[in-house]
A and B are shown apart, each in its own frame.
Chain A
Amino acid sequence: MTALDTDALGAWVREFARAVTEHRDELTELDSAIGDADHGTNMDRGMTAAVAALDATPPADAAALLKTVAMTMISKVGGTSGPLYGTFFLRMSGAVGDGSPAAFAAAFRAGVEGVVARGKAEPGDKTLLDALLPAADALTEAVGAGQGLDTALRAAADAAAKGRDSVTPLVARKGRASYLGERSAGHVDPGAASAVLLVEAAATTLARS
């Protein structure tokens, strides 16, 4: 059984932070089209601070690592992505399990359910959930079918990207973008775009662990 230990999850978080920094301007540009133009800078501030917090105080275990990321995100991001991503990592932290792929899939789903509870969004509202929910489904299904973690995470990342793209034509029903009504249609949702980076980072780091 593959071990998803503290080092592996740390590598995931660091790769997500790196990807957020790399795509910071792009995320902000997406948000300037349909929101308040801060998603890239907010996420970058939060994830950069999360990595700094992990460096400052190396976590004792996987749950502590995810909790540090959670608390940093809810404190430092500033916008709604702080409570949303923070709750994702907080609920994952409480469900981390034995480090097996099945436990990781269950913890990931617990995190996504935390985002559902926090944001009260539904599929098709054009939010990060439109990437996270299909990713959780694909991950659970692939792991449940006995596929390796690399295959399962690739399926999850592909499902997240497909979910992000599926809501681009839709009108946003949550957050600042919902004030724009029809004008939000045709734009990529910034939250769904950053959520794809999160799952893609898992596919590129955890599959090797």
Chain B
Amino acid sequence: MAQVGIVVVSHSRPLAEAAVELARQMLPGSTVPIEVAAGTDDGGLGTDAVAVSAAITAADSGDGVLVLMDLGSAVMSAETALELLDEDVRARVLLSPAPLVEGLVGAAVVAAGGADRDRVAAEALRGLAPKQAHLGG
């Protein structure tokens, strides 16, 4: 059974932590690693590529890591973080274009079930589907 890690990159620490809380609600008893890299170290809004690379390392148990981001500098900081990682770790990391909240919930659920990284990534990308189906979009 694979143990894929998830990293949440956001401008806002409260936003990231609330998103993780929402996802964890779906995973009682699960130990799926979900790490947060969010906000500046003085508590403001912003992203930090060094913190993102540390979060990826913390979330990585060898089976791969999926990174979910909000917008703007979160994306560029995540890309920069990849440059800071050892090559073997970098090869296991995937940056997901999925919407942050919906993608995280979907990814966390299948990651907790032991899915591999590509399956977790695919589930994140499907994150908008239930809402789109409901609203007829």
Contact with B along A49-87 (1 / 0, CB 8 A): 000000000000000000000010011111110111011
Give Cα A87–Cα B46 distance, bound, in whole angstroms: 17
Cβ-defined partner of A78 (8 Å) among B44, B80, B83: B44
Q: B72 at the A/B interface (Cβ < 8 Å)?
A: yes
Within 8 Å CB of A77, what residues of B?
Answer: 46
Q: Name B76's contact: one of A80, A90, A176 (CB within 8 Å).
A: A80
Could you tell me the distance between the alpha carbons of A92 and B110 in the complex, rounded to whole angstroms? 42
Q: A78–B49 contact, CB under 8 A? A: no
In the assembled complex, how far is the CB of residue A150 from the closest CB belonging to chain B, in whole angstroms? 33
Quote the shortest CB–CB distance from A10 to chain B (angstroms). Answer: 22
Interface residue? B31 (CB, 8 A): no
Q: How far is the CA of A86 from the CA of B47 in the complex (A)?
A: 13
Contact A119 B76 (CB under 8 A): yes
B50: Cβ under 8 A from any A Cβ = yes
- The answer to whether A83 and B79 have CB atoms under 8 Å apart is yes
Write the B41-79 contact mask toward A (1 if CB under 8 angstroms, else 0).
100111111110000000000000000000011001101
B40 on interface, CB distance cutoff 8 Å: yes
Q: Are A74 and B77 in contact (CB under 8 A)?
A: yes
* Interface residues of A, dominant DSSP: helix
Which of B41, B44, B80 touches A86 (beta carbons < 8 Å)? B80
Complex-state Cα separation, A144 to B51, whole angstroms: 41
Question: Is A76 touching B40 in the complex (CB atoms < 8 A)?
Answer: yes
Docked complex: A112-136 residues within 8 A CB-CB of B: 118-119
Inter-chain contacts of B45 with A (CB < 8 A): 38, 78
- A193 to B45 Cα, complex, angstroms: 23
Chain B interface (Cβ within 8 Å of chain A)? 11, 40-41, 44-51, 72-73, 76-77, 79-80, 83
